[in-house]
Amino acid sequence: MEQPNLNYIVELAGNDKVFKKKFIDILKCEFPNEKKEFLDNLNNNMPRAASLNVHKIKHKISVLGLEHGYERASVFEEELRDGITSMAEEFIAILECMDHFIKNIKV
C-alpha cells in the first residue's frame, strides 16, 4: 500500500511555516470528523450520504500524495451513489493509513 506524505503541502507552503502549520492543523481537525461521519453513514446503510463523505475525503487523500488511493476513492464514490458498498474494506484501510499518518505529523 502506498504511504501518505507531506510533499504537496511542503511544495504549496514553500518557506511559509505558518501556512504549512495551519494546513496541517486543518487536516488534523477535519479528518477525524469526516472519517467518523463516513463510517456512521456506511454503518447506517446510507450509501448516498457516504458517497458525499468520500467526495470530501478524497481531496485529503490527494493532498497526502495517495494517487492510487484517490483513484480508488473516486471509483468507490461512484459505486456508493449506486448503493454498492463492496469497496468499503479497501477504502477503510486507506482511511486508517491516513489517520495514523495525520496523528503522527510533527509540525
Q: Where are the domains of the chain?
A: 7-103
Predicted TM-score of the model (pTM): 0.94
Mean pLDDT to the nearest integer, 36-45: 99
pLDDT at 107 over 80: no
Mean pLDDT to the nearest integer, 7-28: 97
Burial of 94 (0-12, 13-18, 19+ CB in 10 A): buried
pLDDT at 9 over 80: yes
pLDDT at 1 over 90: no
Q: What is the pLDDT of residue 3?
A: 97
Three-state DSSP class for residue 107: coil
